Amino acid sequence: MVDVQVARSLDEAGVPSVFMLDGQLSAYGIDIVRMTSAWVIADELIERACEALRSADFCVCEKGEDCGGMKPNLDFEDFAPAYHFHFPLRKDFFPEGNEWTETLELYRKSDVLPNLPDPELGPPTPDDPNYMLVSDPSLPVDEIGIGGGRWPVGAYPIKIPRVPRFIEAMFQVILRHNPDNHPMWSQWGMGLSSIAGYSDYCLERQKVNILTPNWDDVNPPARRFIELLSGGGELKDCIKYLSEVRGEMVERGERPQSS
């Protein structure tokens, strides 16, 4: 499994990592098509992480942001992964010279999880407020045969953010985005939307929602945003709230810098 190979290669190189986006959302039990294997690395270790994956025979893309596989995302985002790799021998069916179906992406922690502590090597403690394992017993099991949900007991220890911390972090990411770039259409905004819609997803399938029974553990101002996003309101209300929070931060001199 590629994700385990990545995690093991990084651990052996002494590089702690956090699993994000498609794989992380899948572990949460979200029904999602896996297109990326995304990892967050402490800024000072990003070069070591890249070299570790090169040594594991992953093919780093030398085109960077000019790669055709990156351009669709960058239409709506203010930053790209520090490095990305193409899975070997996984050619897709898209035209115009796009050669690969999936990418492995390394992100700087300052871009994605700036307010969380740097991850450490090895599993987090069971009561860690920020990180958990993909096999954590609090995650839902795969009840409808789509391959999502928590990983089996004894699976390789891969860290993901706890749901409240993920919501807070993604709120900060889209808050930094240029409003003209439609931040809710970015992969970070779409991840938030997936979490917000999980309760309805469970209702439709008569499935118990153990992932997001409420938003009580989400800190302000992200809590109000996820309440709006999950409450059946219009997207314009969410965008309005983003603008209000930006305005308040400007008044306090705290407006986050765009990446």
Local structure of 13: helix, strand or coil: coil
Strand partners, 158: none
179: its two tokens: 């409003």
CB atoms within 10 A of CB 7: 21
238 and 180 together in one domain: yes
21 and 121 together in one domain: yes
- Give the per-residue pLDDT at 89: 42
58 and 150 together in one domain: yes
157 and 167 together in one domain: no
Give a yes or no: residue 98 inside a domain: yes
Q: Which of residues 161, 188, 217 is at a domain's end?
A: 161
Give a yes or no: residue 184 inside a domain: yes
146 and 51 together in one domain: yes
202 and 157 together in one domain: no
Give a yes or no: residue 240 inside a domain: yes
Give a yes or no: residue 138 inside a domain: yes
125 and 171 together in one domain: no
Give a yes or no: residue 257 inside a domain: no
Give a yes or no: residue 61 inside a domain: yes
Using the 8-state DSSP alphabet, how is residue 145 labeled?
S
107 and 139 together in one domain: yes
Give a yes or no: residue 201 inside a domain: yes
146 and 215 together in one domain: no
- Of 67, 79, 132, nearest in space to 107 by CA: 79
Q: Which of residues 123, 142, 161 is at a domain's end?
A: 161
Q: How far apart are CA 5 and CA 9, in angstroms?
A: 6
Q: 216 lies in which domain range?
A: 163-252
Q: How far apart are CA 133 and CA 156, in angstroms?
A: 9
75 and 156 together in one domain: yes
Could you say which residues of the chain have pLDDT below 70? 68-78, 87-101, 143-147, 178-183, 255-259
pLDDT digits (tens, 9 = 90+) for 22-80: 999 999 999 887 888 999 999 999 999 999 999 998 888 887 777 766 655 555 566 78
- Give the per-residue pLDDT at 122: 94
**Tally of structural domains, the chain:** 2
Burial class (CB in 10 A: 0-12, 13-18, 19+), 203: exposed
- Give the per-residue pLDDT at 78: 65
- Give the per-residue pLDDT at 180: 62
215: its two tokens: 């938003």
167 and 154 together in one domain: no
Give a yes or no: residue 70 inside a domain: yes
103-108 and 36-41: which strand pairing? parallel
- Give the per-residue pLDDT at 73: 58
Question: How far, CA to CA in Å, does 90 sit from each of 35, 69, 98, 147, 154?
Answer: 11, 13, 11, 20, 28
Q: Which of residues 161, 176, 207 is at a domain's end?
A: 161
177 and 155 together in one domain: no
